[in-house]
Amino acid sequence: MRKNVSKSKKTKIVDTIIFILLLIGAVAMVFPLVYMFFSSFMTKNQILSANFSLIPDPWKFGKYTEVLQKPEFLRGVRNTLLVAVPVLLVGSFTSSMAAFSFSKLNFKGKNAMFLGLLSTMMIPFAVVMIPQYIMFTKLGWANSLLPLIVPGLFGNVGMIFFLRQNLNSIPSALAEAAKIDGCGYFRIYYQIFLPLMKGALMTQVILWFMGIWNDYLAPTIFIQDEQWFTLQVVIRSFNSYYAVNSDYPLIMAASVLAILPTLLLFFFFQRFIIESMAISGVKG
Amino acid sequence: MKFKKMTSALLAAVLLGTTALTGCGSGNDSVAEDGRKNLKVFLYLNDHESEIYKEMINKFQEEHSDTIANIDLQITTQDEYETTLTGMMTAGDMPDVFYVGPNAVEQYVENGYIENLTPYLEEMNISTDGLMQNIVDSYRYDGEKTGSGDVYALPKDSSVFAYAYNKDLFDEAGLEYPDPENPYTYDEFVEVCKKLTKDTDGDGEIDQWGAGFANAFMLYQFIWSNGASFTSDDYKTITIDTPEFKEALQKYVDLTLVHKVTPTVEQDASLGVYQRWLSGQEAFYACGTWDVAAFMDKETFPYNWDLCTFPTLSTGKSMTWLGTVGYCVSSSSENKAEAVELINYLSTDADGQREVSGITTGNSIQIPNITELAEGEFIEAINNGTLKYPSNVNVIFDYMNGTDKVDGRFMETNYTPNAEWSDIFFAGVDKVKNGSMSVDDFIAEIQPQMQEALDNAWDSVS
Amino acid sequence: MTSVKQKKKMSRAAREENRWGLAFVASPFIGFLIFMAFPIVFAFVASLTKWNGINNMLDNFIGFENYIKLLTDEKFWKVLGNTIIYMIGIPIGMILGLVIAVGMNRKIRGIKVLRTLYYVPVVSSLVAVAILWMWVFNYDYGLFNSIIKALTGMKGPNWLGDEFWVKVSMIIFMVWKGLGSSIILYLAGLQNIPRDYYEAASIDGATGFGLFRHITIPLVSPVTFYLLITGLIGGFQVFVEVLVMVPTGGLDYSAATVVFYLYEKAFSSRQMGYGSAMAFILAIIIFIITAINFKAQNKWVKDLD
């Protein structure tokens, strides 16, 4: 009895030490972001002063209004959403259908096709970016958002993989029973399995949205008309444009605004997101 | 049945998504339904310029509403311009009017991208005599080299990269202002700079310098003034191993390493020399003609300043580089005559030139293309104060037209198919400027790489 | 008789299923053909030409010249070297991730909040945080050098402007950006280890580090393997962080990676053929390294099942 108490006391001390160490680490991890947040309220002079300071003096809130009034910025947000909405709607439909098929139906070449799709995750984007660039410009798509939208409509390999994983844990007997009842395949997918994978699908949609929101490489290569720049491209051009006048508070404010949506999404859905990330490592 | 239905529904969904956003894609017909013409114009402009140019283009369209239905103006940034244009070339979807620099004239003509303007100008009775001649000449090509022959573009602007000094810092130090007509020698320049380099707040660290130098824009002045050049006259051979070149480079880096009158490479990395000039930390910095409006704006640059000339090396002549970009007409355009009319208007319309040069607006982003305007109204407006311009404006015209003490020229990259060879040089020159490598070692290391890149460049167009 | 009939009926159903199964996967598969398979073939053909995107590709066929040129291209070797140096970040991230995950694998109140904090950089926009870190690394005004100056009174290094430090900077940045996901993955791996493994080992007299060395490390090896593979595949493709933080590629190209060089060649110098060849070499390197890893995995990757 006594021994047990002292042991748990010891555990408690160890726990506290570990917690403090982890806390220090965590603070160090987010410190740059905190610094970014605070410096967006500083004056130019404070940022450029030789002495380090974290708390703005005085607090300036004007940079956020300034950024939000820039037409480029709003256009960037609009364009990003114009990409995200159709891609997520159509893309998650095509992906979930494919995942259903890979998991619950039998057809010729199923495994080969699945492996083929999966292997594309290994192919560097650098290999396909030049031909894709040529393809999109020849099609006259460089002055639109199509290069970012159309490939997504066909589905997303990562999503297919995860949903298939998810469906594999649902008994196939359900599908068999429905087949015997004379239920059409699309109805089996739509009325039985789609509701069953709703949770997993939501998580994947959120992750995909974050991917689209944060994507920089494809937009910067494929989109040539300023009119259609997505948010990340706009943020980058802000960086080169306003650094000349050392307007770092504005750059920081714009960056904060660019991070905020994904951060909020993450905070609200973190349980699902972390779970789904964890699966990729353990089962992948 | 059901299967087919599903498949077609799926296809429809994909297609719908595709077409819903294609409205903006291609399909800009060159002729409108009523027979009037549509023009597509692709330019890079900064915010300042784009308002003025949009207005000019609207005005042109209104005046020609009987023949022109619509002018579609697509604007981009200078950084993106080249990439986008090549993208358009790749797609085979060229705008009717776009920019060309003197460097690309030969390449564009040989590849059949741009139209010879001379026949159109003759037919329309348009003379280019009123324009700055050396600039117009840079858009001539005779089938072998640029500089003479038929005209392939009309200048949008011509710019000079002059030198400037912060008067307030000179006053503080009790020094005499530089003489705009008599350039400093290198030694004189070093002396003046030393007096202007100091620790103003007494914390033991230098926080004001005599000058700041951005390598990619301010090394040429030293090289050329020492009679050297990056390439041979035919622009095929890299000539950075000449004693003149090495000496010029040595003197350039000595300003930082030996005389210590400029921010170090590290200091430049934390806050650029341009930014330091704007915050009054450097007595000398350069001023391009496009910078004038910004420097005259007290919000951006709250100091008194004026123009001057770059210091001289062995030739005794102060040198700097000139820049220009011109409007050209795509040879695949179906509305060439209208396009030529438009670019003639943009290049030479007196009212338009008054706007961009600041005669009417007070803010100058370029000097007028029209000689008469430049020498007349422009100077007058400066003298009577309606145009905000530093008083030594003559420095600009001296560099542009050349005198026995100062002269301007185009960078060597203006004549080579691409600038990769020069990028190699400037990517590494900081190693010399920070003292980690000697001039000789650097040149020995970098010259073969530059030569290879230059060979490749020429190879790519042959 | 009946059995034949049965069989026929089954096969009709199977045919139906076959058709629908294929139809359901058609969309991603067609997408794969258009946006992956075709471009790969195209890129290979392009890599055999002196194509600049505008001239006729097949008229400029030069065989394997681009590949041969690449092998003697000093700049290519340099950027390949830089890319590999950046991979030092992979083991660093793995070690830190595992240690932190072990610390987190305890029932302490509030530990979930910490887990979230570590993960924040992972979900943040790469461009935005790269811009931020440019500022963190600034020589005179940056966060790091301000702290170094406050602590030691000495000037910190020229992080992004020095040939050596720029690599350190990039590694720090990449470890910071990715640490959260290795923690999460290791944590999941740790939680999969049955308690009795430890208990059994404890009875055998193993303690602290011994447990960690002989139980934990082998049992999370599938996660380590996954991190290694994805880290290597991603590591060879590092590009955006360099483009944003060191847009010139660094002093004497000291920060440039393979994809950075490729991007410049293909889109700035318009040497699409040369760029394609470089992309192919990159793909081959990635393929070989991944294959070696999979071959070697049974030597050290333990399967829990």
Closest A-chain CA to C138? A48
- Are residue C225 and residue C270 in the same domain, yes or no? yes
pLDDT digits (tens, 9 = 90+) for C238-282: 999 999 999 889 888 999 999 999 999 888 878 899 999 999 999
- On the question of pLDDT at C7 being above 70, the answer is no
Cβ neighbourhood burial of B204 (10 Å; 0-12, 13-18, 19+):
exposed
Q: What's the CA gap between A197 and A209, in Å, rounded?
A: 18
Q: Give domain status of residue A201, yes or no.
A: yes
A-C C-beta contacts closer than 8 Å: 286
CA distance A258 to chain C (A): 7
Instruction: State the average pLDDT over residues B171-195.
Output: 95
Q: For chain A, say whether B92 makes contact (Cβ under 8 Å).
A: yes
CATH superfamily of B161-322+390-461: Periplasmic binding protein-like II (3.40.190.10)
Q: How many domains does chain C have?
A: 2
- Provide the domain limits for residue A28: 2-39
Which residues of chain C lie closer than 8 angstroms to B265, CB-CB? 158, 161
Backbone angles phi, psi at B320, to 5 degrees: -155, 175
- Are residue A139 and residue A278 in the same domain, yes or no? yes
Global ipTM: 0.91
This prediction's pTM:
0.86
Closest C-chain CA to A51? C146
pLDDT digits (tens, 9 = 90+) for B36-54: 889 999 999 877 678 888 8
- On the question of pLDDT at C112 being above 90, the answer is no
Question: In CATH terms, is domain B31-159+324-375 a member of 3.40.50.300?
Answer: no
CA distance B430 to chain C (A): 7
- Are residue C78 and residue C45 in the same domain, yes or no? no
Q: What's the CA gap between A152 and A89, in Å, rounded?
A: 10
- On the question of pLDDT at B198 being above 80, the answer is yes
Q: For chain A, say whether C262 makes contact (Cβ under 8 Å).
A: yes
Q: Give domain status of residue C201, yes or no.
A: yes
Which residues of chain C lie closer than 8 angstroms to B449, CB-CB? 74-75
pLDDT of residue C3: 47
Res. B146 pLDDT band, cuts 50 70 90: confident
Q: What's the CA gap between A178 and A195, in Å, rounded?
A: 15
Which residues of chain C lie closer than 8 angstroms to A135, CB-CB? 39
Interchain contact, A102 vs C25, CB within 8 Å:
yes
Residue C155, domain CATH: 1.10.3720.10
Res. B91 pLDDT band, cuts 50 70 90: confident
Interchain contact, B275 vs A145, CB within 8 Å:
no
Q: Give domain status of residue A46, yes or no.
A: no
Q: For chain B, say whether C248 makes contact (Cβ under 8 Å).
A: yes
Interchain contact, A224 vs B87, CB within 8 Å:
yes
- Are residue A35 and residue A75 in the same domain, yes or no? no
Q: Give domain status of residue A59, yes or no.
A: no
Instruction: State the average pLDDT over residues C178-195.
Output: 90
pLDDT digits (tens, 9 = 90+) for A147-165: 999 999 999 999 999 999 8
Q: For chain C, say whether B9 makes contact (Cβ under 8 Å).
A: no
pLDDT digits (tens, 9 = 90+) for B397-422: 999 989 999 999 989 988 887 888 99
- Are residue A97 and residue A188 in the same domain, yes or no? yes
- Structural domain ending residue among the three candidates C67, C83, C102: C67
pLDDT of residue B237: 96
Backbone angles phi, psi at B359, to 5 degrees: -60, -40
Residues 7-46 of C with CB under 8 A from B: 19-20, 23, 26-27
Q: For chain A, say whether B2 makes contact (Cβ under 8 Å).
A: yes
Interchain contact, B3 vs C140, CB within 8 Å:
no
Residues 113-172 of A with CB under 8 A from B: 133-134, 137-146, 149-150, 153-154
Q: What is the 3-state secondary structure (H, E, C) of C197-253?
A: HHHHHHHCCCCHHHHHHHHHHHHCHHHHHHHHHHHHHHHCCCCHHHHHHCCCCCHHH
Which chains lie within 8 Å of chain B at 3 or more CB pairs, if any? A, C
Q: For chain A, say whether B1 makes contact (Cβ under 8 Å).
A: no
What mean pLDDT value characterizes chain B?
87
Q: Give domain status of residue A50, yes or no.
A: no
Nearest to B431 among C140, C251, C268 (CB): C251
Residue B304 is inside which H or E element, if any?
none
- Selected residue with higher pLDDT from B89 and B330: B330
- Are residue A33 and residue A90 in the same domain, yes or no? no
Q: What's the CA gap between B198 and B196, in Å, rounded?
A: 6
Half-sphere exposure of A240 (CA within 13 A, CB side): 16
- Are residue A35 and residue A131 in the same domain, yes or no? no
- Are residue C57 and residue C136 in the same domain, yes or no? no
Interchain contact, B269 vs C161, CB within 8 Å:
yes
Give the residue from C270, C272, C274 with the most B CB atoms within 10 Å of its CB, the best one to mutate. C270
Q: Give domain status of residue C8, yes or no.
A: yes
- On the question of pLDDT at C207 being above 80, the answer is no
- Selected residue with higher pLDDT from B8 and B208: B208
Q: For chain A, say whether B77 makes contact (Cβ under 8 Å).
A: yes
| Spatial CA neighbour of B223 closest among B215, B233, B234 | B215
CA distance A247 to chain B (A): 10
Q: For chain C, say whether B431 makes contact (Cβ under 8 Å).
A: yes
Nearest to A278 among C135, C188, C278 (CB): C188
pLDDT of residue A49: 74
Asked whether A197 and C107 are in contact (CB, 8 A), the reply is no
Which residues of chain A lie closer than 8 angstroms to B90, CB-CB? 134, 137-138
